[in-house]
Amino acid sequence: MYGIFDKNKYKSIVKKNNLSQKDIVRKLNDDYNIDITLGGVKSWTRTTLNAQGEIFQPNIKTLNALADMCNCSIQDFFSDAESKRQQIAIEEISSKPDHYSNSISKAFLSTMPSGLDKLIENFLLLNDEQQSQVKENVKELAMKNMKF
């Protein structure tokens, strides 16, 4: 697993989204095709241990569904998320690559100066030596414009 599942964070997120444990079971079963019982969902809020001596917590598929259902990140369910942020983010992004690539592309394109897309397109038509020369020229111009 990715860290320590925090039952209190889970409870807070679920409460904020006005979801009961029965709602979660129904949505996981019906909307996400995840077979789980009410007892399984309730086990995430208890401190009892499973047969392996571990606290019950949802698997990655269920965490992704819960995050989607609650419009949050899977890392929001973990107390040690900051130390695991990169690992969790990679897993989350890889589970929905189209969603994130489209979002990132749109965000990037919306901040690009006008005409930069054409410049990049033309730059890619240059050979390696020409690209290196252009990069060096741009770097020199940028350094001249920097104020120290």
Residue 47 in domain: yes
Q: Does residue 20 share a domain with residue 49? A: yes
The β-bridge partners of 5 are 78
Residue 110 in domain: no
Q: What local confidence, expressed as pLDDT, does residue 1 receive?
A: 47
Residue 108 in domain: no
Range of the domain at 72: 7-103
Q: Does residue 93 share a domain with residue 45? A: yes
What is the number of structural domains in the chain? 2
How far apart (Å, rounded) are the C-alpha atoms in residues 77 and 125? 46
Q: Does residue 93 share a domain with residue 41? A: yes
Whole-structure pTM value? 0.54
Q: Does residue 98 share a domain with residue 51? A: yes
Return the half-sphere exposure (C-beta side, CA atoms, 13 A cut-off) of residue 78.
21
For residue range 125-137, list pLDDT tens digits in order.
889 899 899 888 8
Residue 59 in domain: yes
For residue range 52-78, list pLDDT tens digits in order.
777 788 988 999 999 999 999 888 888
Residue 2 in domain: no
How far apart (Å, rounded) are the C-alpha atoms in residues 80 and 83? 6
Q: Does residue 92 share a domain with residue 32? A: yes
Residue 71 in domain: yes
Cα torsion angle, 15, 21, 25, 30, sign: negative
Q: What local confidence, expressed as pLDDT, does residue 114 receive?
A: 76
Point out the residues of the chain with pLDDT beneath 70. 1-3, 81-89, 99-112, 147-148
Q: Does residue 54 share a domain with residue 122? A: no
Q: Does residue 131 share a domain with residue 97? A: no
Contacts of 35 by beta carbon, 8 Å cutoff, 6+ apart: 29
